[in-house]
Amino acid sequence: MLEHEPVISIGNKGDVHDILVDPATLERQGVSVVSSDRGGQTTYHGPGQLTTYPVLDLRRTRVQCDIGWYLDALHDAIIEAAAAHGVGKACRMDHGIGVWLPASEREGTPDRKIAAIGAKLSRWVVHHGAALNVCPDLVRFEQIVPCGLSKLLPASSLQAENGTCDVQAVGHSLIGCLAKNLGLGIEHVSKEGLLRLMHDHDIT
């Protein structure tokens, strides 16, 4: 888990036309653009956003070789972590993969997206993962067509929904929720150990 420097990430279903501002503007703002082999379209990563990169061999889980089970566990972990930090209405919706907050007629707000999910499966090892908006600069999402969605469905964050702005605390909660949902324990490894694992599974 980490907070990225400002970057627009184009997934394997994305396109440069999803970027709504010119390269010179992005350069002045310190926003880079990268292509990624993850699933999904175009999204933004940056400070205040908790980006999660689980690496899991589905052949070693209790529900072997089931990417749907993994995605359900990831969605549910984000929803549970959001609830633990003040945002209890997060849910899945028909707009597509990710975690949302439903519209409120009383507050005059549309459906809002607080977390994007994009995974890659290689030889039953899943990697990449999710990005949960804790307290990022939401203006950045207005510079792209996030995940191919209309601006009528804006991005939001835990902070904007009267939740927390403590990225580290949310990270600890999300680790615990994800481990529980996957039926796994938590073990801390060194950077070198992680790199060996990635090398063994040909993950870059």
Q: Please tell me which residue in 91, 135, 147, 177 is annotated as part of the active site.
A: 147
- How far apart, in whole angstroms, are the C-alpha atoms of residue 97 and residue 9? 17
Is residue 157 within 8 Å of 136, Cβ to Cβ? yes
Phi, psi of 188 (to 5 degrees): -85, 130
Is residue 40 within 8 Å of 87, Cβ to Cβ? no
Q: N- to C-terminal Cα distance for the chain?
A: 16
**Residue 147 annotated as catalytic:** yes
Q: Where are the alpha helices (DSSP H) in 90-166?
A: none
Phi, psi of 151 (to 5 degrees): -65, -10
Phi, psi of 162 (to 5 degrees): 70, 25
- How far apart, in whole angstroms, are the C-alpha atoms of residue 137 and residue 118? 21
Q: Where are the alpha helices (DSSP H) in 56-108?
A: 67-84
Catalytic (active-site) positions: 147
